[in-house]
């Protein structure tokens, strides 16, 4: 199996992880923008007076969220296709531990024993 | 926040993490059931790594979304931000994931998975699956970030874990996945973690509520606390509880420590009786209109010996007035804050001034509505003055139209006054036929006698302080006016301010004043005393450090004007 890791990348998903349509699944998971974007536009236009203009920092943070979501979606699709459902659920629940660490690091939230 | 409040959150995280570790360490069941389809547990390593990377990315995404939502100013903005984050969350991957998809030529697998295009049912099912997946994912993310908005990123992760656990249960029991004890235990641990976290949130919210309630009670207690009028009054007249008795009822605003200090006679005891520097908005009002306060003050003075062998007037006006009166000393009066010390000429209508202790009129009554904004003037009384006839007053009146004079017996409409309080003195003294020269005031050695206040607020002060407390007795014009009015009122000089030179009617007389009408002031105390009063008042007015130069000049101007407008009838 490890010998197959040197295979060309196009065959990596199929032969190593034995997953089909991984990125396609991830792409589908994020294809709802076609529905949400018009709804968001309408909502923003309807209550434009109450919504402040998006700042540059907010724009960067939103873009970072989207970029991180790429890794999230890809990794999720990869794990979902390569792991049994129950195992995937259990390991993907590790985000709670990461969330704790990141919240304490960046948001300075107090989590003390 | 107390550390114990977060232990449930951390316990939930640790329990969930231990469940994950438990599954990772347990490979007994899967190794025995290695299948060609899924392989063995060792073959899950890439998937496990991918799941962990996904978990890390998901956590980072939610924490960043949390930080983005924290800066939203209002609810509408938060809703929009949630929608924006969800849109960012799908739009960018939809653009970028095409790169690995095309790089891996994954699109070529499409037909291999779904079969030939002739099998339209499979393709239709796939399209419907994609649409449902997209809609479900949209709802999932909107609710997730809504949860981040409401409860934070970590709680949203915990709630998300429920969804995953339900998915696992469906996978195990509906899709026939391999079951192992470690999976079952880990799923149970995730549920327990959720319970721990939710209980931690409940404890935290409960403690926060209790903290807010305690803070509010402490704030209310401080509002009536040391230095407040209630405590001062209680200290002077109320029962003193035993400091060692926990069941003893302390006066309002007193704490056991304060009581101990009072009993011990330390400086704290002094401090707790003092008036606060500024009135607090929520300070409880105190009415001086009842006679009981004056009686209590007199009793207090009598008990302390300060008021012994004094006439009533001396009692109010004497040097250092009383131990109670000394408590109010040092209050600086700002005429601008009191609204109207910068006055007009003396002919303006004078406001009503009524000695609280001599009045039975409620402060919330009609007289209260007429509470003036200006300063005070004490006018001559219609009661025949037994003192010097009014020739003196007439002498000092300048020629010209006599403003504010109407037909005899006619009722005048009361006007708000910008009259200076200095006119009080000339009017009062003119009423007694003792129109003193203001240039002479201040030279008396008795001027210091007015440095202390009797603590009796004028009606104006009470009205302008929002009925909050007696905290502005040090009025430039109000304080001496009050004191003099208390003294002069005994002799029948009407204490209520009125337009200078205005004729008073008997019906305007306070019943108290009428009852106490005799003997006249000039006879009772003598001219010398009146001059001392005038001197003290003028000295106070001139020397008051809080008054601006403008108001001082105006006061002096008004003194002359009001004096000239006074009449002795």
Looking at residue B276, its pLDDT comes to 44
Looking at residue B20, its pLDDT comes to 60
The tally of CA atoms less than 13 A away on the side-chain side of residue B498 is 25
Cβ neighbours of residue B207 under 8 Å, at least 6 residues apart? Answer: B1, B2, B5
pLDDT at B301 over 50: yes
- Is there a domain that residue B16 lies in? no
Per-residue pLDDT, averaged over B38-54, amounts to 76
The minimal CB distance from B44 to the residues A12, A87, A96 is found for A87
Candidates B104, B492, B544, B125; CA nearest to A27 is B104
pLDDT at B556 over 50: no
pLDDT at B80 over 60: yes
Per-residue pLDDT, averaged over B65-79, amounts to 79
pLDDT in tens, B100-141: 888 887 777 776 666 666 667 777 777 777 788 788 888 888
- Which chain B residues contact residue A21 at CB under 8 A? 106, 109-110, 113
For chains A and B, what is the number of CB pairs under 8 angstroms?
322
* Cβ neighbour number for residue B51 with a 10 Å cutoff: 28
Give the pLDDT band of residue B329 (cuts 50, 70, 90): very low
Give the pLDDT band of residue B257 (cuts 50, 70, 90): low
Looking at residue A113, its pLDDT comes to 45
- Which chain A residues contact residue B105 at CB under 8 A? 10
Give the pLDDT band of residue B68 (cuts 50, 70, 90): confident
Measured CA to CA in angstroms, residue B495 lies from B21, B453, B550 at distances of 89, 18, 27
| Contact (Cβ atoms closer than 8 angstroms) between residue A95 and residue B55 | yes
Distance CA(B336)–CA(B140), nearest Å, equals 62
Looking at residue B440, its pLDDT comes to 38
Shared domain for B365 and B239, answered yes or no, is no
| Contact (Cβ atoms closer than 8 angstroms) between residue B483 and residue B399 | no
B315 reaches A (C-beta below 8 A): no
Token readout for B552 is: 């001082």
pLDDT in tens, B379-403: 444 444 444 443 333 334 444 444 4
The minimal CB distance from B164 to the residues A26, A50, A92 is found for A92
Q: Please tell me which of A28-37, B299-308, B502-511 the model is most confident about, judged by mean pLDDT.
A: A28-37
Q: How far is A19 from chain B (nearest CA, A)?
A: 10
Token readout for B535 is: 């001197």
Shared domain for B256 and B388, answered yes or no, is no
pLDDT in tens, B473-485: 444 343 444 333 4
Q: Phi/psi zone of residue B473: left (φ > 0), alpha (ψ -120 to 50 degrees), beta?
A: alpha
Looking at residue B32, its pLDDT comes to 47
B26 reaches A (C-beta below 8 A): no
Report percent pLDDT > 90 for chain A: 2
Give the pLDDT band of residue B293 (cuts 50, 70, 90): low
Per-residue pLDDT, averaged over B497-521, amounts to 44
Shared domain for B322 and B402, answered yes or no, is yes
Per the DSSP assignment, residues forming a β-bridge with B39 are B35
Q: Phi/psi zone of residue B253: left (φ > 0), alpha (ψ -120 to 50 degrees), beta?
A: left
Shared domain for B306 and B333, answered yes or no, is yes
Place of tokens 């101990």: B260
- Is there a domain that residue B121 lies in? yes
Q: Which domain-ending residue is among B120, B149, B179?
A: B179
**Best of B13, B125, B154, B196 to mutate (most A CBs within 10 Å, chain A):** B154
DSSP conformation class of B440: G
Per-residue pLDDT, averaged over B254-267, amounts to 48
Q: Please tell me which of A64-78, B186-200, B237-251, B413-427 the model is most confident about, judged by mean pLDDT.
A: A64-78
The minimal CB distance from A40 to the residues B83, B107, B168 is found for B83
**Best of B9, B24, B45, B47 to mutate (most A CBs within 10 Å, chain A):** B47
| Contact (Cβ atoms closer than 8 angstroms) between residue A79 and residue B48 | yes
Q: How far is B59 from chain A (nearest CA, A)?
A: 5
Residues 79-118 on B with a CB inside 8 Å of A are 79-81, 83-94, 96-98, 100-101, 103-107, 109-110, 112-113
- Is there a domain that residue B424 lies in? yes
Looking at residue B88, its pLDDT comes to 87
B199 reaches A (C-beta below 8 A): no
Report percent pLDDT > 90 for chain B: 0
Q: What is the rounded radius of gyration, in angstroms, for the C-alpha atoms of chain A? A: 19
Residues 469-528 on B with a CB inside 8 Å of A are none
The minimal CB distance from A83 to the residues B47, B100, B169 is found for B47
Contact A62 B88 (CB under 8 A): yes
Shared domain for B446 and B541, answered yes or no, is yes
Looking at residue A31, its pLDDT comes to 82
Looking at residue A61, its pLDDT comes to 87
Q: What does the longest C-alpha to C-alpha distance in chain B come to?
A: 128
ipTM greater than 0.90, yes or no? no
Q: Which is more confident, B421 or B125? A: B125
| Contact (Cβ atoms closer than 8 angstroms) between residue B388 and residue B433 | yes
Long-range contacts (CB closer than 8 Å, 24 or more residues apart) made by B128-134? B130/A28, B130/A31, B133/A28, B133/A29, B134/A28, B134/A29, B134/A30, B134/A31, B134/A32, B134/A35
DSSP conformation class of B333: P
Q: How far apart are the first and last CA of chain B?
A: 74
- Is there a domain that residue B14 lies in? no
Nearest C-alpha in A relative to B142: A36
Contact B103 A12 (CB under 8 A): no
pLDDT at B254 over 50: no
Task: Give me the number of domains chain B comprises.
Answer: 3
Beta strands in B108-226 (DSSP E): none
**Torsions phi, psi for B151 (to 5 deg):** -125, -5
The tally of CA atoms less than 13 A away on the side-chain side of residue B411 is 5
Cβ neighbours of residue B8 under 8 Å, at least 6 residues apart? Answer: B196, B197, B199, B200, B201, B203
Shared domain for B266 and B361, answered yes or no, is no
Contact A65 B24 (CB under 8 A): no
Shared domain for B345 and B250, answered yes or no, is no
Q: pTM for this structure?
A: 0.41
Shared domain for B311 and B256, answered yes or no, is no
Per-residue pLDDT, averaged over B532-556, amounts to 51
Looking at residue A91, its pLDDT comes to 80
Distance CA(B107)–CA(A13), nearest Å, equals 12
Contact A67 B74 (CB under 8 A): no
Per-residue pLDDT, averaged over B66-82, amounts to 79
Q: Which is more confident, A27 or A112? A: A27
Per the DSSP assignment, residues forming a β-bridge with B35 are B39
Distance CA(B377)–CA(B351), nearest Å, equals 7
Q: How far is B78 from chain A (nearest CA, A)?
A: 9
pLDDT at B541 over 70: no
Measured CA to CA in angstroms, residue B278 lies from B330, B333, B467, B544 at distances of 12, 11, 13, 18
DSSP conformation class of B476: T
Looking at residue A111, its pLDDT comes to 58
Helices B478-488, B422-431: inter-axial angle, 10-degree rounding:
20
Domain residues for the domain of B157 are 27-179
Give the pLDDT band of residue B41 (cuts 50, 70, 90): low
DSSP conformation class of B414: P
Give the pLDDT band of residue B527 (cuts 50, 70, 90): low
Alpha helix (H) residue ranges in B421-468: 422-431, 459-464
pLDDT in tens, B359-386: 444 444 444 444 444 444 444 444 444 4
pLDDT at B151 over 50: yes
DSSP of A36-100, one letter per residue? HHHHHHHHHHHTGGGSPPPPHHHHHHHHHHHHHHHHHHHHHHHHHHHS-HHHHHHHHTTHHHHHH
Per-residue pLDDT, averaged over A85-112, amounts to 77
Q: Which is more confident, B322 or B196? A: B196
Token readout for B470 is: 């007696």
Token readout for B145 is: 């970030």
Place of tokens 């939203």: B72
Cβ neighbours of residue B499 under 8 Å, at least 6 residues apart? Answer: B347, B348, B349, B350, B377, B404, B412, B414, B415, B417, B419, B565
Give the pLDDT band of residue B192 (cuts 50, 70, 90): confident
Looking at residue B67, its pLDDT comes to 84
Q: Is B385 helix (H, G, I), strand (E, B) or coil?
A: coil
The minimal CB distance from B168 to the residues A86, A97, A107 is found for A86
Looking at residue B144, its pLDDT comes to 81
Contact A61 B64 (CB under 8 A): yes
Looking at residue B330, its pLDDT comes to 44
Shared domain for B165 and B53, answered yes or no, is yes
Q: Which is more confident, B68 or B517? A: B68
Distance CA(B540)–CA(B479), nearest Å, equals 9
Shared domain for B56 and B160, answered yes or no, is yes
Shared domain for B264 and B296, answered yes or no, is no
Q: How high is the mean pLDDT of chain B?
A: 57
Shared domain for B135 and B248, answered yes or no, is no
Per-residue pLDDT, averaged over B200-220, amounts to 82
Nearest C-alpha in B relative to A88: B51
Q: Which domain-ending residue is among B272, B301, B324?
A: B272
B1 reaches A (C-beta below 8 A): yes
Looking at residue B528, its pLDDT comes to 59
Q: How far is B303 from chain A (nearest CA, A)?
A: 59
Looking at residue B161, its pLDDT comes to 73
pLDDT at B95 over 80: yes
Q: What does the longest C-alpha to C-alpha distance in chain A come to?
A: 61
């Amino acid at each position: 199996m490890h010998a197959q890791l040197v295979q060309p990348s196009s065959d990596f998903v199929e032969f190593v992880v034995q997953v089909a349509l991984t990125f396609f699944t991830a792409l589908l998971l994020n294809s709802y923008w076609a529905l949400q974007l018009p709804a968001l536009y309408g909502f923003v236009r309807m209550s434009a007076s109450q919504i402040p203009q998006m700042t540059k920092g907010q724009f960067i943070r939103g873009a970072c969220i989207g970029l991180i979501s790429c890794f999230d979606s890809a990794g999720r699709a990869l794990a979902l296709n390569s792991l049994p459902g129950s195992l995937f659920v259990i390991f993907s629940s590790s985000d709670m531990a990461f969330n704790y660490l990141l919240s304490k690091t960046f948001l300075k939230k107090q989590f003390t024993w | 926040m107390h550390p114990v409040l977060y232990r449930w959150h951390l316990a939930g995280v640790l329990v969930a993490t231990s469940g994950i570790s438990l599954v990772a360490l347990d490979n007994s069941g899967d190794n025995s059931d290695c299948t060609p389809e899924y392989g063995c547990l060792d073959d899950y390593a890439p998937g496990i790594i991918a799941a962990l990377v996904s978990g890390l990315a998901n956590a980072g995404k939610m924490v960043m979304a949390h930080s983005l939502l924290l800066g939203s100013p209002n609810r509408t903005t938060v809703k929009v931000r949630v929608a924006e984050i969800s849109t960012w969350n799908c739009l960018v991957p939809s653009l970028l994931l095409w790169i690995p998809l095309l790089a891996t030529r994954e699109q070529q697998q499409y037909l291999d998975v779904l079969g030939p295009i002739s099998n339209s049912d499979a393709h239709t099912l796939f399209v419907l699956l994609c649409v449902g997946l997209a809609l479900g994912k949209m709802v999932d993310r909107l609710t997730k970030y809504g949860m981040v908005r409401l409860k934070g990123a970590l709680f949203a992760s915990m709630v998300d874990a429920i969804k995953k656990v339900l998915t696992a249960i469906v996978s195990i029991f509906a899709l026939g996945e391999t079951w192992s004890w470690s999976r079952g235990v880990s799923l149970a641990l995730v549920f327990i973690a959720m319970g721990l976290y939710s209980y931690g949130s409940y404890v935290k919210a409960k403690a926060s509520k209790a903290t807010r309630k305690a803070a509010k009670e402490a704030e209310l207690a401080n509002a009536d606390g040391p230095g407040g009028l209630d405590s001062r009054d209680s200290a002077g007249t109320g029962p003193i509880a035993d400091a060692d008795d926990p069941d003893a009822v302390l006066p309002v605003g007193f704490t056991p420590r304060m009581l101990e200090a009072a009993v011990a006679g330390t400086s704290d005891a002094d401090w707790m009786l003092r008036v606060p520097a500024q009135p607090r908005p929520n300070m409880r009002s105190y009415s001086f209109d009842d006679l009981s306060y004056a009686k209590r003050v007199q009793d207090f003075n009598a008990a302390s010996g300060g008021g012994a062998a004094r006439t009533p007037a001396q009692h109010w006006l004497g040097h250092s007035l009383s131990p109670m009166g000394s408590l109010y000393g040092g209050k600086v009066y700002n005429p601008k804050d009191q609204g109207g010390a910068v006055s007009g000429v003396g002919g303006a209508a004078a406001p009503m001034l009524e000695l609280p202790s001599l009045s039975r009129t409620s402060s919330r009554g009609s007289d209260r509505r007429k509470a003036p904004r200006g300063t005070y003037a004490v006018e001559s009384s219609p009661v025949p003055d037994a003192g010097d006839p009014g020739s003196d007053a007439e002498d000092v009146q300048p020629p010209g139209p006599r403003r504010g004079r109407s037909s005899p017996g006619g009722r005048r409409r009361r006007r708000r006054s910008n009259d200076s309080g200095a006119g009080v003195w000339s009017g009062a003294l003119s009423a007694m036929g003792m129109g003193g020269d203001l240039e002479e005031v201040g030279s008396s050695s008795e001027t210091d006698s007015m440095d202390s206040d009797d603590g009796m607020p004028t009606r104006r002060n009470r009205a302008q302080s929002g009925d909050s407390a007696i905290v502005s007795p040090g009025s430039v014009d109000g304080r001496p006016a009050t004191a003099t009015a208390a003294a002069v009122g005994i002799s029948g000089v009407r204490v209520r301010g009125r337009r200078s030179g205005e004729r008073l009617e008997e019906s305007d007389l306070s019943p108290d004043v009428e009852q106490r009408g005799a003997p006249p002031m000039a006879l009772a105390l003598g001219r010398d005393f009146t001059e001392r009063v005038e001197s003290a008042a003028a000295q106070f007015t001139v020397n008051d450090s809080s008054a601006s130069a403008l108001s001082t000049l105006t006061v002096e101007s008004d003194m002359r004007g009001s004096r000239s407008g006074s009449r002795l009838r």
